[in-house]
Amino acid sequence: MKKGITLMDGAVGTSLWDKAEARGIKKDPVWRYNIEHPEIVAELAAEMADAGAEIVLANTFGANGPAVKRSSSYTAPEVVSSAMRIAKDALSGKNVKIALSAGPLSALMEPYGDLTEEEAGEIYYEMLSAGVKEGPDLILLQTFIDLSMLRVAAAEAKKFGLPVFCCLSFERRGKTMMGNSVEDMIEELEPLGIDAIGMNCSLGPDLAIPVIKEFVGKTSLPLIFKPNAGKPILAADGTTATAYSVKVFADDVMPALDFVDYIGGCCGSDASYIRELAARMGKQ
């Protein structure tokens, strides 16, 4: 195992939906919970930290201007600021860093759609500037499938003087849905001065290992690995099980610990997955 690996948290979105369902709360875009049900957002952040996560994401991932306007009467700065304040309060006194998280926009950028680079940049700047005012430790740009959009977001993020981490979501063939490769990502983003690079979402750890390995030797940047734990699978007897149990997920992640610098989970990975990784890494 490589020394000095930082343990990140697990899934924010699916974990919040699980908490909402357990309490009979409507399944909404999870950023709405920052204002409407802040208690479950705070609870999740604390659980991730208590499980051993050294970096915890604020619940800001999809809270960009167009998305917030489309699904609520709130503003993106209002939602993002509330998320950061919830995370800071929940994690007060814990030795944990808070990441301001942003993901892709629903609109496609030119030439595939009508969104210009300038328009996308303005959307990200509005969202990120609101979060940065609340004092995050770093910015994580994740789950992007269009490298051009990630490059725009990263350029905006770099304006704030914080560490900027960037992740694409790759398919098992080693390219994103938009056809971007590991080499493309390194070539586009390294010149921007980002601070860490890697992948999250889309694949479980066993299928994602060959992709994250492609970064080795091609970049000197620290590597981020946040694979999925998977969606629930309905068995023939009517019971459900996650695609990757806590143990199988941790088993399959282990090979990555020889070369990655940041490790965590994505969709389906609640605090129990992070607790198991912490134990395997000697952080509990």
What's the pLDDT score for residue 100?
Answer: 98
Q: Is the predicted pLDDT of residue 240 greater than 90, yes or no?
A: no
Per-residue pLDDT tens for 47-84?
A: 999 999 999 999 999 999 999 999 999 999 999 999 99
Q: What's the whole-number mean pLDDT along residues 175-195? A: 97
Q: Quick check: is 69 in a domain? A: yes
Residues 6+ apart with CB under 8 A from 115: 105, 107, 108, 109
Q: Is the predicted pLDDT of residue 10 greater than 80, yes or no?
A: yes
Query: In this structure, what CATH number is given to the domain that contains residue 91?
Result: 3.20.20.330
Domain count, the chain: 1
**Residue that wins the pLDDT comparison between 131 and 230:** 131
Chain centroid, CA 248 distance in Å:
21
What's the pLDDT score for residue 233?
Answer: 66
Confidence at 104, pLDDT banded by 50, 70, 90: very high
Q: How many CB atoms lie within 10 A of CB 26?
A: 10
DSSP labels, 162-218: S-EEEEE---TTSB-TT--BHHHHHHHHGGGT-SEEEEESSS-HHHHHHHHHTTTTT
Q: Is the predicted pLDDT of residue 21 greater than 90, yes or no?
A: yes
Q: Quick check: is 259 in a domain? A: yes
Confidence at 238, pLDDT banded by 50, 70, 90: confident
Confidence at 172, pLDDT banded by 50, 70, 90: confident
Residues 6+ apart with CB under 8 A from 196: 163, 165, 166, 221, 222, 223, 224, 261, 262
- Please say whether the beta carbons of 252 and 244 come within 8 A: yes
What's the pLDDT score for residue 1?
Answer: 86
Amino acid found at 103: G
Q: Quick check: is 120 in a domain? A: yes
Instruction: Provide the residue range defining the domain that includes 167.
Output: 6-280
185 token code pair: 């990502």
Q: What's the whole-number mean pLDDT along residues 125-133? A: 98
Q: Quick check: is 1 in a domain? A: no
What's the pLDDT score for residue 86?
Answer: 98
No. of H helices and E strands in the chain? 11, 10
Q: Is the predicted pLDDT of residue 242 greater than 80, yes or no?
A: no
- Please say whether the beta carbons of 34 and 43 come within 8 A: no
For 174, counting Cβ atoms within 10 Å of its Cβ (0-12 exposed, 13-18 middle, 19+ buried), the class is middle
Q: Quick check: is 244 in a domain? A: yes
**Residue that wins the pLDDT comparison between 257 and 1:** 257
Q: Quick check: is 42 in a domain? A: yes
Q: Quick check: is 28 in a domain? A: yes
Q: Is the predicted pLDDT of residue 228 greater than 80, yes or no?
A: yes
Of 82-91, 96-105, 108-117, 234-243, where does mean pLDDT reach its minimum? 234-243
Backbone angles phi, psi at 263, to 5 degrees: -135, 145
Backbone angles phi, psi at 252, to 5 degrees: -75, -25
Q: Is the predicted pLDDT of residue 96 greater than 80, yes or no?
A: yes
Q: Quick check: is 241 in a domain? A: yes
